[in-house]
Structure 1
Amino acid sequence: RAAEPEPAITEERQKRRKDREAVKRRAAEPEPAITEERQKRRKEREAARQRAAEPEPAITEERLKRRKEREAAMRRPENAARLFDSAKEKPVRRKPGGAGSDQPAARARAERLPESDAAAQARASTDPVQIGSVISEEGRRIERPRRERPEVPEGAELVREVNNRFIFRTNNTYFIERPREERFIIDAREVYYEELPRSRQREVVVRPDGTRIVTIRNRWGDVVRRVKILPDDREIVLVYVEDDYYDEVLEWRDPGLDLPPLDLDIPVRDYILDAEWVEDPEDYYTFLDQPPVEQVERTYSLDEVRRSARIRDKVRRIDLDIINFEFGSAQIPESEIGKLEGVAGAMQRLLKENPGETFLIEGHTDAVGAEVANLALSDQRAEAVATALTNVFDIAPENMETQGYGEQYLKVETQGPERENRRVAIRRITPLVAPVASSE
């Protein structure tokens, strides 16, 4: 029995032995299906590591470069200037007991960003603004006014005239003025002027299609009303400010002096859009369509907005640092015009939704050269961009205001040549200069 075991028992043992041997073979030589899947995954991981180590020459290198540059820009360099233009200005000497002299040093922190232009203007007035027709008031025809200001208010000094631009100094700051109707009257069918009560003037520009652009200026030349009257006599309000205040004011004064410094807890990229990093033109529209970053106390004149950095700080800014001007030149090279297409498309779209939109085109320079010369150059560059937007992209001139600021608001703190300081910027200032839905 020991030498010749029973057949049933021997077969069972043999079966078990075969099973154990089969398990050992599977462990040593795994089944093809499992091995192929593992090998496939291993190859994919190796390929991914190789792609990370050796990126594709054209696309990947460019994307990696732009990503690193964007990350560096978001971190802001050590020599980056302060975020808000109003924080870059020279201290203003205030008169004892004057308005704004007792303002606390605390910063104005927005508890909640306004969700719309209407929400931003909610505190400006509890009653709807009733705007009468801009041509209802009778005027007396006069010759075209002289380019000089009729009067120079107290606190301002005329420094120089450069290419029909007048440079003034007030509160330790230079600013530039010029005849602003030049862009409006190109190809006009008729232009005439009228004298109104309280030393105001009305300018009417008639376009070939019958559209009229009517502008009312106060005694200082500040624009307090601007309306586009369509051929069907519908009036679209572009600028509206209660001008009674100006009748008693004898000096230019920054309305931002009544406000504490602005302090916003939002990322820089949500407040300033660098055109250099824009890959989707839709970003221009999304950015310009955003409301102010804080409440708007009242509507301001165009000149108040142009002169007050603190008021301009209320709205976001696009830096068109993709436009490259030649050194000392305000001419836009033909090769650079196409770079305006993205922001021009956004402006066209906004104007289609609301023909009463107003955009401020700002010109800036670096700190190389004389301050007064840079001021004039920056103003010419802002005007050149606005002219290109009109001539090439059909943005109506009355929907754009221009102003040069020279080297006053550097983006990078340096007295040497710096490309980022030689820039043009765009802001949508509609909620600062006109009541919401006023065109209706």
Structure 2
Amino acid sequence: MQSFDDRVIINYHDRTFIEHDDSPRLAWHARETYYEELPRGRYRETVVRSDGTRIVTIRNRYGDVIHRSRILPDGREIVLVYVEDDYYDEVYDWRDPGMGLPPLELLIPLSQYILNAGQVNDPNVYYDFLGQPPVEELDRIYSIDEVRRSARIRDTVPRIDLDTITFEFGSASISESEIPRLEVVAEAMGRLLEENPGETFMIEGHTDAVGSDMANLALSDRRAESVAMALTNVFAIPPENLVTQGYGEEYLKIDTAGRERENRRVAIRRITPLVAPVASAE
């Protein structure tokens, strides 16, 4: 484990992951944030928004998110994430939860599984696409961190390749001219959140193959975070409904070792069925 660019790089067997603190992003419109120690090494973070809404996140002793809820001023609770903490006592030392699964069998057309944003400008298409169920039956629900770390689990839900947003070489900034290109997908996400305020969307960041592995992991993580912050600050998508993760150069869209703008991108998935028990049951 080592620090890089205010993030943590974890090497586990033949895999490398990056972790970051999402608390600053969750503190959007917060009037206070406080922390409480819980039994069994867990701790609870509570963000209190200016309108009295509370965002409550519980992490286990490994730092994994096992519960996240939005509690409204009237006391109603909206569960975004819930996973049994006892599960970790059984499987830690951590392993990829997709390792025991057979290869993914895709029974729908590829166009219904991967949506290239550059070919679509209709929010209804994004709305229908994001609302699709997983492409295979799930054995159980997963933690956010398991979904972040397992390509096999993530691949059970369709993804949007947001190729309308690309980045300058070495940069995680989104130009002002590209911000409006997020509007159609933000509108679709907003409609889904009106129907189910507990939806969770994952923003995945990617780089081209130029540069060191660690630098690219950190850069891709910041790119995912930049898109999430734009969705929140410009289009009012609540930050607690967004999960970000960078994958560096691991999943190149164009297989080249050189500079390639199409590889400097983000992707979006609706991971609610993977992390929320109610959505999974439906």
Q: Could you state the TM-score of these two structures normalised by the residue count of structure 1?
A: 0.62
**Cα distance between partner residues in 2 of 1:336 and 1:378:** 18
- Which has the larger strand fraction? 2
Partner of 1:422: 264
Q: Which residue does the alignment assign to 2:71?
A: 229
Please point out which of 160, 175, 183 is paired with 1:341.
183
- Helix, strand or coil: the match of 2:278? coil
Q: Which residue pairs with 1:188 in the alignment?
A: 30
Q: Report the Cα distance in structure 2 between the residues aligned to 1:269 and 1:411, rounded to whole angstroms.
A: 16
Once the two structures are TM-superposed, the CA of residue 171 in structure 1 deviates from its matched residue by 2.8
For the Cα contact (< 8 Å) 2:272–2:279, is it kept in 1? no
Distance 1:243 1:193 in 2: 19
Aligned to 1:402: 244
Change (3 A) 1:300 1:437: closer
Whether the 8 Å contact between 2:97 and 2:150 is mirrored in structure 1 is yes
Matched, 1:268 2:107: no
Matched, 1:209 2:57: no
Please give the alpha-carbon distance, in whole angstroms, between the structure 2 residues aligned to 1:404 and 1:417.
18
Bigger CA drift: 399-408 or 280-289?
Answer: 280-289
Opposite residue 227 of structure 1, the aligned amino acid is: S
Shift of 1:437: 5.3
Report how far residue 182 of structure 1 moved: 1.2
Once residues 271 and 97 of structure 2 are traced to their aligned partners in structure 1, the CA distance between those partners, rounded to angstroms, is 16
Q: CA deviation at 1:436?
A: 2.2
1:305 aligns with 2:147: yes
Secondary structure of 2:122's aligned partner: coil
1:413 to 246, 255, 268: 255
Q: Higher Cα Rg: structure 1 or 2?
A: 1
Secondary structure at the residue paired with 1:257?
Answer: coil
SS at match of 1:378: helix
SS in 2 for 1:357: coil
Match of 1:315 among 142, 145, 157: 157
Listed as ranges, the gaps of 5+ residues in structure 1 are 1-157
Secondary structure of 1:260's aligned partner:
coil
Aligned to 2:3: 161
Which residue identity lines up with residue 72 of structure 2 in the other structure? L
Q: Is the 8 A contact 1:198 1:247 kept in 2?
A: no
The aligned residue for residue 167 of structure 2 is: 325
User: SS at 1:194's partner residue?
Assistant: strand
Alignment correspondent of 1:74: none
Q: Residue in 1 aligned with 2:99?
A: 257
Equivalent position SS for 1:202: strand
Query: Matched residues in 2 for 1:363 and 1:274: separation?
Result: 15
Aligned equivalent of 2:234: 392
Matched, 1:369 2:181: no
Q: State the alpha-carbon separation in 2 of the partners of residues 380 and 363 from structure 1.
A: 8
- What TM-score comes out, normalization by structure 2 length? 0.96
